[in-house]
Amino acid sequence: QVQLVELGGGLVQPGGSLRLTCSVSGTISSIRAWGWYRQTPGKQRELVAYMSPPNYYYYADSVKGRFTISPSNAANTMYLQMNSLKPEDTAVYYCNSIPSSGNWGQGTQVTVSM
């Protein structure tokens, strides 16, 4: 089974920045694409960004130009750099393979508020 751990969320003011980290363990050698999702209460989980290095990076229109998905220097980890945060970015953020597996981590809460 694949285990996913998301870290780095918190409370930030509008216009601020956060960097989320995804750490993955388990049987992942065949997975070639990874993404970040977010979910707010009462709404469907949405795909925010994904990558299939080195040739493809995707961003939802709502975050394009503000968020950056990237591998980290550490093995089996990746980042989501979030800049110019808006209140509507408030959500629980998750990472997963593309396409997503049935298992999800606990996610990390991002709250953008004054």
Name the amino acid, one letter, at 57: Y
What kind and span of H or E run contains 76? none
For the stretch 1-56, pLDDT in tens is 889 999 999 999 999 999 999 999 988 777 789 999 999 999 999 999 999 988 89
pLDDT in the model for residue 38: 98
| Cα(51)–Cα(65) distance, integer angstroms | 15
What kind and span of H or E run contains 82? strand 77-82
pLDDT in the model for residue 27: 80
pLDDT in the model for residue 32: 84
- The CA angle 17-38-60, to the nearest 5 degrees, is 80
SS3 category, 110: strand
pLDDT in the model for residue 82: 98
Per the DSSP assignment, residues forming a β-bridge with 93 are 38, 108
| Cα(110)–Cα(114) distance, integer angstroms | 13
For the stretch 43-87, pLDDT in tens is 999 999 999 988 899 999 999 999 999 998 888 999 999 999 999
| Cα(52)–Cα(90) distance, integer angstroms | 26
